[in-house]
Chains A and B, each alone.
Chain A
């Protein structure tokens, strides 16, 4: 078997009496899109936060390329190849779209210790940043202040920043939210292309996108994975239908 790029081994997390994540084990294999679906409050974002290092699991371990990264900081995991998008946009709102993308490109070089040269025109960052903006369809907005962007455009910028990092795994928290039909379709195309560069752990509510993209789907309900399988397996899983798909359709 190929070694998974990312592996969680029985991770759990509680907030007081709320068990947001219970003994979750999943893996992300090279080239795949592994979707995590589940109702609101199921613990999807909590899972992502633990993988990326903003939350420390109560139990369990996380491996990236076979290395235990459980005790590493967000930054170290990012340097080890994780790139995430945030469900609630975490962008420099006063800055332009290009400045945000250049920040990602700067992160990709790992060296912000240049004090007197101008960042924006520097081709070392700019080419990477503009390419990423172009891929998500934001290049025409590069000089707009990020605060002026629509909700959907901010999601796209989140993805663009992740792209600038050239990571070995993408972790995306609802990148389609607020995009509208047109935007979702476009981003679906982008993600389909991106998976060849690095696999994607995709938390997403947009079922059309999930069914179109996912190689595998894990269903998370009340912090527990109740099923993992291919699109067809999940669609026809009675427990899933009852717990999740049934109620929404």
Chain B
């Protein structure tokens, strides 16, 4: 067994070495793939707080991913067409500034997660899975019918949004930006799971009646976790839209919700780097197998099956063993 810490450091090294190599070897497509993986990882880090720590099996996190995507799409669309987003009750202009887009994505995803969480957390088990799925589907169909923003065809953004001091169109610079965000969020998550909030949330997954009995509010703990979780996935959505310079209703699709969950299951549910490992493997399979066969999802399915059957903690669980309890 390899210590989880060393394993995480190895993954971190991979995130740095591969793009560095690609940069010097002039392989921008590899950098784009790594960017895709980093953004997927970020989306899954968000879900991992709800799913892994909180035990909340949300099958609707595409709602937040798409929300972030559309925030980016709509703001940038208005900026590139020089039209206002809204004039009443007050003037809202579009923007091409990434920090502003991120902030709005985080805020609106958090609000959406608050609403969805508030309504969904009255249920549990299969019902929770279904109701979160239903909310994401609602967003999906709404985005299809919103013809002002491209409806089914989605929205194209001609130039990647800007970040002060960087040329975001340069693949390596955009990658560094995404990686930095991923690492900041991972660092924050490493603290959150050990914080009083994380301890209580983790206990509420294992024994809600105990958490109740010590006078802590289980429902509110879960709701806050869901909101933070949705906000992170929303931020990932904004980055994803910027990577592709394109948003469409597929960002709200149930397949996407499923994929985000799959990243976590492959990597290791509740493990800090589980989402990162899962997203890397997913993007690699998608690229290498997708080139060989249109049915690469079958291989992904097989991998998933093996992991569910043979190793509970995903890849990290198989390599590093059971999570060490912190003393």
Asked whether B207 lies within 8 Å of A165 as measured between CB atoms, the reply is no
Given A103-B200, A114-B196, also A74-B191 (CB < 8 A): no
Q: State in angstroms the CA–CA spacing of A143 and B327 once bound together.
A: 5
Q: Is there a chain A Cβ closer than 8 Å to B212's Cβ?
A: yes
Q: State in angstroms the CA–CA spacing of A112 and B215 once bound together.
A: 10
Instruction: Number of B interface residues at 8 Å Cβ cutoff, please give it.
Output: 29
Asked whether A75 lies within 8 Å of B192 as measured between CB atoms, the reply is no
Give B43 Cβ to nearest chain A Cβ, in Å: 20
Instruction: Number of A interface residues at 8 Å Cβ cutoff, please give it.
Output: 45
Asked whether B209 lies within 8 Å of A86 as measured between CB atoms, the reply is yes
Q: State in angstroms the CA–CA spacing of A122 and B197 once bound together.
A: 13
Q: Is there a chain B Cβ closer than 8 Å to A42's Cβ?
A: no
> Which residue of B191, B213, B215 contacts A90 across the interface (Cβ within 8 Å)?
B213
Asked whether A120 lies within 8 Å of B194 as measured between CB atoms, the reply is yes
Q: State in angstroms the CA–CA spacing of A125 and B195 once bound together.
A: 12
Asked whether B202 lies within 8 Å of A92 as measured between CB atoms, the reply is yes
8 Å CB contacts to A: which residues of B299-327?
323, 325-327
Q: Is there a chain A Cβ closer than 8 Å to B107's Cβ?
A: no
Given A112-B221, A120-B326, A143-B327, also A75-B212 (CB < 8 A): yes
0 or 1 for each of A193-225: is its CB under 8 Å from B? (1 = yes):
000000000000000000000000000000000
> Which residue of B195, B206, B325 contacts A143 across the interface (Cβ within 8 Å)?
B325
Asked whether A106 lies within 8 Å of B327 as measured between CB atoms, the reply is no
Asked whether A112 lies within 8 Å of B216 as measured between CB atoms, the reply is yes
Given A92-B207, A143-B325, A143-B327, also A102-B217 (CB < 8 A): no
Q: State in angstroms the CA–CA spacing of A106 and B211 once bound together.
A: 10
Give A95 Cβ to nearest chain B Cβ, in Å: 7
Q: Is there a chain B Cβ closer than 8 Å to A15's Cβ?
A: no
Given A96-B327, A115-B195, also A74-B212 (CB < 8 A): yes
Asked whether A106 lies within 8 Å of B216 as measured between CB atoms, the reply is yes
Closest A residue to B207 by CB, please name it: A90
Q: Is there a chain A Cβ closer than 8 Å to B171's Cβ?
A: no
Q: Is there a chain A Cβ closer than 8 Å to B287's Cβ?
A: no
Asked whether A98 lies within 8 Å of B203 as measured between CB atoms, the reply is no
Q: State in angstroms the CA–CA spacing of A79 and B195 once bound together.
A: 22
Asked whether B195 lies within 8 Å of A119 as measured between CB atoms, the reply is yes
Asked whether A106 lies within 8 Å of B206 as measured between CB atoms, the reply is no
Q: State in angstroms the CA–CA spacing of A102 and B213 once bound together.
A: 14
Given A84-B213, A92-B210, A94-B206, also A116-B195 (CB < 8 A): yes
Residue from the set A75, A108, A164 with the largest chain B CB neighbour count within 10 Å = A75
Asked whether B214 lies within 8 Å of A119 as measured between CB atoms, the reply is no
Asked whether B214 lies within 8 Å of A95 as measured between CB atoms, the reply is no
Asked whether A114 lies within 8 Å of B195 as measured between CB atoms, the reply is yes
Q: Which A residues are CB-close (under 8 A) to B326?
A: 96, 99, 120
Asked whether B209 lies within 8 Å of A92 as measured between CB atoms, the reply is no
Q: State in angstroms the CA–CA spacing of A104 and B200 once bound together.
A: 10
Given A92-B203, A116-B188, A116-B191, also A74-B196 (CB < 8 A): no
Q: State in angstroms the CA–CA spacing of A78 and B211 once bound together.
A: 10
Residue from the set A79, A95, A103, A111 with the largest chain B CB neighbour count within 10 Å = A103
0 or 1 for each of A35-74: is its CB under 8 Å from B? (1 = yes):
0000000000000000010100000000000000000011
Q: Is there a chain B Cβ closer than 8 Å to A110's Cβ?
A: yes
Asked whether B199 lies within 8 Å of A102 as measured between CB atoms, the reply is yes
Q: State in angstroms the CA–CA spacing of A93 and B327 once bound together.
A: 15
Known: A86-B209, A120-B327, A165-B214. 17 other contacts (CB 8 A): A75-B216, A78-B212, A84-B213, A86-B213, A91-B206, A91-B207, A103-B200, A103-B211, A104-B214, A106-B199, A112-B200, A116-B191, A117-B191, A117-B196, A120-B194, A120-B326, A143-B327
Instruction: State the B residues within 8 Å of A (CB).
Output: 188, 191-192, 194-200, 202-203, 206-207, 209-217, 221, 224, 323, 325-327
A-B contact pairs, 9 of them (CB 8 A): A75-B217, A78-B215, A103-B216, A104-B214, A106-B199, A106-B214, A113-B196, A116-B192, A119-B199
Instruction: State the A residues within 8 Å of B (CB).
Output: 52, 54, 73-75, 78-79, 83-84, 86, 90-96, 98-100, 102-104, 106-108, 110-120, 122, 125, 142-143, 145, 161, 164-165
